[in-house]
Structure 1
Amino acid sequence: MDKIGLFYGSDTGTTEEIVEKIKDAFSKEISLHNIAESSKEDMEKYDKLILASSTWGDGDLQADWEDFENNLENIDFSNRTVALVGLGDQEGYDDSFCNALGHLYNHVKDAKIIGKTSTDGYEFEESTAVVDGEFIGLVLDEDNQNDLTDKRIETWIKQIEPLF
């Protein structure tokens, strides 16, 4: 299957809005899946995946992703290409900024991970989303830098689309 499966969790609708923007900006076909309504089998249908979650509390996955997390442990990601998207608040949670991305990464790191981005332009203390000095995916802060979101999405898609 050539389609890309984009799985997301959204409590307030912000992540859902972001994945809609990503889907609209891609030239390749993307199938959106709310993780709250998805099964392990739904995810396994795709060799190409984008996983998106906001960070809640002190660095937790979005609640629907937490409910789905056990399924991630039982999926073989080794022959899949995965891009990650994280949303967070770097001012209010500067010690756990976008840590949900780190949680997702730990489950899918056997995959071919694409879409790493620079930490330049962000102000935070700690983040498990940073590996080897880079974010392991697209990181967005809709609370403090929403004016940068569209450009960040556009730049990221130019980077990853040829790799899908």
Structure 2
Amino acid sequence: MAKVGIFFGSDTGNTRRVAKSIAKKLGDAADAPVDVKKASVDDVLKYDSLILGTPTLGDGELPGLDAGASDESWAEFLPKLKGKDFSGKTVALFGLGDQEGYGHEFVDALIFLYDLVIENGGKVVGFWPTDGYTFEKSNATVDDQFVGLVIDHENQSEQTDERLDTWLEQIKPALGV
């Protein structure tokens, strides 16, 4: 069985912690999570099953220097993946956001990862219901669902483990786990 590759961008470390939790819950089925600031394009492309995670910073932006992050992240790495062949790849997404403080752009950065995977010919799995969240607007919805798992550590941290478990059970078959 091929391993699942987990890649994330982070600024405060919350997304890294969620990525590590996902890897722990998947056990031997996943490789250790990799921060995209330390990843190469080849690192990502070697996997047929991927989990990609990001927080949303600034005005609905990916983490990166222009969004005020302390280091390079998705904003600098995503352009390197543009045009790469994702056909045959199955990708699940997760995003962190604050629905109370940033309800007008809640987890918007997720859509950038989604769009890249789709444009590159990949398949996205793991859509997540918007029920249970209170927000004004999110660009990260398709057909009234989030394009991936949404975690709000600021306001709903007590729900994180249960949401992770439910989502992982949903995506495991598609990822070949």
Partner of 2:77: 68
Shift of 1:72: 2.0
TM-score computed with the length of structure 1 as normaliser: 0.96
CA distance in 2, matches of 1:144, 1:29: 30
Residue 60 (structure 2) aligns with: 59
How many residue pairs match? The answer is 164
Q: How does 1:12-51 map onto structure 2 within 5 Å?
A: 12-31=12-31, 32-51=33-52
In structure 1, the residue corresponding to 2:79 is in which secondary structure?
helix
- What is the CA–CA distance in structure 2 between the aligned matches of 1:69 and 1:159, rounded to whole Å? 26
Q: By how many angstroms is 1:27 displaced?
A: 4.3
CA distance in 2, matches of 1:119, 1:72: 28
In structure 1, distance between residues paired with 2:84 and 2:101: 34
CA apart distance, 1:123: 0.5
More strand by share: 1
Q: Indicate the percent of aligned positions where both proteins have the same amino acid.
A: 46
Structure 1: give runs of 5+ residues left out of the alignment. none
Q: CA deviation at 1:28?
A: 4.6
Q: Which residue of 2 aligns with 1:134?
A: 145
- TM-score after normalising by structure 2: 0.89
Alpha-carbon RMSD across the aligned residues, in angstroms, is 1.1
CA offset at residue 29 of structure 1?
Answer: 2.1
| Alpha-carbon distance change, 28 to 161 in structure 1, aligned in 2, over 3 angstroms | farther
Q: What do residues 68-101 of structure 1 show as CA deviations (whole Å, max 9, x unaligned)?
A: 0211213211210000010001111111100110
Gap runs ≥5 in structure 2: 65-72
Matched, 1:4 2:13: no
Alpha-carbon distance between aligned partners in 2 of 1:4 and 1:78, rounded to the nearest angstrom: 16
The answer to whether 1:146 aligns with 2:147 is: no
Divergent runs of 4+, >6 A? none
